[in-house]
Amino acid sequence: MQQFTAAQLKRAAGAIFNAAGAPQDIADFVAGSLVLSNLMGHDSHGVIRVPRYVEQIREGQLKPAARPETVKETPTTATVSGRWGFGQVAARYGAEVAIRKAKEAHVAVVCLVELNHIGRLGEYSAMMAEQGIVGMLVTGGWRPPIAGVAPFGGAGRALGTNPYSFAVPTAKRDMVLVDFATSVLAEGKLQVARAKGTPLPAGVILDKNGNPSTNAEDFYAGGVILPVGGHKGYALSLMADLLGATLPGAEARGHDWNQTGTFMLAIDVEAFRPLAEFTAAVDHRLGEIKDVPPAPGFKEVLIPGEPEMRSKAEREKSGIPLPEATWNAIVATGQKLGLDVNALAGA
């Protein structure tokens, strides 16, 4: 493992994206979004993604200079096209539209289409909570071979990892932030295990023959990830697919393998009660939850989002650990673009 500061990784990733054709503001934003995921402890959505994003640029799947636009709207809804640019840029734009409309009309639904990978959903629901908005996001629409999750009872690829995220504003405590894949593990976490050379927990994947495996390589050789919670996770995943992709017609705008879309729901707290009253009540309720005695084997009860905020504080202080395989892949990506990434990062 190597340790890096957030600033080092932002410089390296930003320079790579800029050299690959992204305008500086887009390059810096996407780099910052990836590094924020690392800080939050979600390395699966961090700079490990840099080499693949650059591959997608070379393959013509990702247009690095594209900027999102609203293609259809009403007072409470909008359809946003990411124009096949960086998904993070489209998601930020969509969240900003949702916040504005929710402030004006108390509720808003925004759907994103023509979309690449948007990173960690919690980044955008958190944007809403910071503005006194309750936010909910779901993403779906990947198709095989990229889609790697089996439906409950199946042994073949049909669904993406189709994540959900919710965020609720608070008064003095950290916001409540829920962000989870509907598969047992997000595919990016398989990438992390692969980079580290560590086995997966049992019950995460099946190999191409339908047999349980703990070797991440078996997934990349044609295996599948299982849905979390059996039939319940499968049902949530299917709903994410239908809301995120089918509702806005992403299949009519996508490719055979990528028909992804994202559904954003923004609810203005002030439509129901004063924000200060609501957030104080949320804080009180969280205090009641935190006061529950821990079960054997646990030190405390945690609120959703609390582990991420603790990780952020710790990694801002001590640095972000990266497996050597991940850093070497980033360095090699930079070299292909004529960059000395080690020098850029000061590594």
- Chain segment 112-164, per-residue pLDDT in tens: 999 999 999 999 999 999 999 999 999 999 999 889 999 999 999 999 999 99
Is the CATH number of domain 1-64+320-347 1.10.1530.10? Answer: yes
Amino acid at 134: V
Tell me the sheet residues that pair with 264: 110, 137
Mean pLDDT of 189-215: 93
pLDDT bracket for residue 345 (50, 70, 90): confident
pTM for this entry: 0.93
Per the rule left: phi > 0, alpha: psi between -120 and 50, beta: everything else, 226 is beta
Q: What percent of the chain has pLDDT over 90?
A: 92
Mean pLDDT of 317-327: 95
Rounded CA-CA distance 123/143 in Å is 24
Q: Name the packing angle between helices 324-336 and 50-58 (round to 10°).
A: 30
Give how far Cα 184 sits from Cα of 148, 187, 295, Å: 12, 9, 23
DSSP run (H or E) holding 187: helix 187-196
Mean pLDDT of 323-345: 94
- Chain segment 158-182, per-residue pLDDT in tens: 999 999 999 999 999 999 999 999 9
Rounded CA-CA distance 190/207 in Å is 13
How many other CB atoms sit within 10 Å of the CB of residue 128?
Answer: 30
Residue 338 buriedness (CB in 10 A; 0-12 / 13-18 / 19+): exposed
Q: What strands lie across the sheet with 224-225, from one edge to the other?
A: 212-213, 205-206, 224-225
Rounded CA-CA distance 140/239 in Å is 8
How many other CB atoms sit within 10 Å of the CB of residue 60?
Answer: 8
Q: What percent of the chain has pLDDT over 70?
A: 100
Predicted confidence (pLDDT) at residue 23 exceeds the cutoff of 70 = yes
pLDDT bracket for residue 192 (50, 70, 90): confident
CB 28 within 8 A of CB 37: no
How many other CB atoms sit within 10 Å of the CB of residue 19?
Answer: 17
Residue 330's pLDDT is what?
A: 96
Mean pLDDT of 280-284: 98
Could you state, in order of their start, the residue ranges of all structural domains in the chain? 1-64+320-347, 66-183+228-291
What is the signed CA dihedral for 286, 291, 292, 296, rounded to 10 degrees?
A: 120
Mean pLDDT of 196-203: 93
Residue 97 buriedness (CB in 10 A; 0-12 / 13-18 / 19+): buried
Mean pLDDT of 55-70: 97
Predicted confidence (pLDDT) at residue 254 exceeds the cutoff of 80 = no
Given this chain, do its domains 1-64+320-347 and 66-183+228-291 carry the same CATH topology? no
CB 237 within 8 A of CB 229: no
- Chain segment 68-120, per-residue pLDDT in tens: 999 999 999 999 999 999 999 999 999 999 999 999 999 999 999 999 999 99
- Tell me which architecture the domain covering 66-183+228-291 has in CATH: 2-Layer Sandwich (3.30)
Tell me the sheet residues that pair with 320: 4
- Chain segment 26-38, per-residue pLDDT in tens: 999 999 999 999 9
Residue 347's pLDDT is what?
A: 67
Mean per-residue pLDDT over the chain, rounded: 96
